[in-house]
Amino acid sequence: MIEKPPKNKIEILLDDNTRLVLERAREIAGEHGQRYIGTEHLLLGLIPELDKIVGLNRPDLPESIKLILDLILMKGSTVINSQKPIQEILTQRAKKAILQAIEFARVEGVNEITPRHLLRSLIHQQDCYAAGVLKVLNVTISA
């Protein structure tokens, strides 16, 4: 049985690919002049993983996601403290998405969150940019 992670210790449950997603999300947030990681940054960080996860033959999907989110985010530049743990710079919605991903992993009986769990949790969020973009682009993922 998978135990619920202690607060501020979510990184211990991430597989290597999901860690890369979060690092890309941190970089993307900085490129957009933001000091936090939101669901929109998580979705942009997931782009290199989408083909493997969704299995769609939609070469337009990554570019469509980038285009929509670039319109939402104001392009700027700032440095996000790379020494801060990820959980300290996640928005509440992004934390909620990761906790939902943990729950999806738990239901599957696995010990690590994968990019697939993270994408699935973003699709299921109610009021965030990432969920809205995924809905507009009709991105779904099977359980």
pLDDT (tens digit, 9 = 90+) per residue, 27-77? 888 888 888 899 989 988 998 887 777 765 666 777 777 777 766 665 554
Task: State both tokens at 90.
Answer: 């996640």
CB of 19 closer than 8 Å to CB of 11: yes
How sure is the predictor about 137, in pLDDT bands with cuts at 50, 70 and 90? confident
Q: How many helices (H) and strands (E) does the chain have?
A: 7, 0
Give pTM, 2 decimals: 0.77
**Residue partners of 21: CB distance under 8 A and separation at least 6:** 42, 45, 46, 49, 115, 118
How sure is the predictor about 126, in pLDDT bands with cuts at 50, 70 and 90? confident
CA angle 41, 86, 37 (to 5 degrees): 25
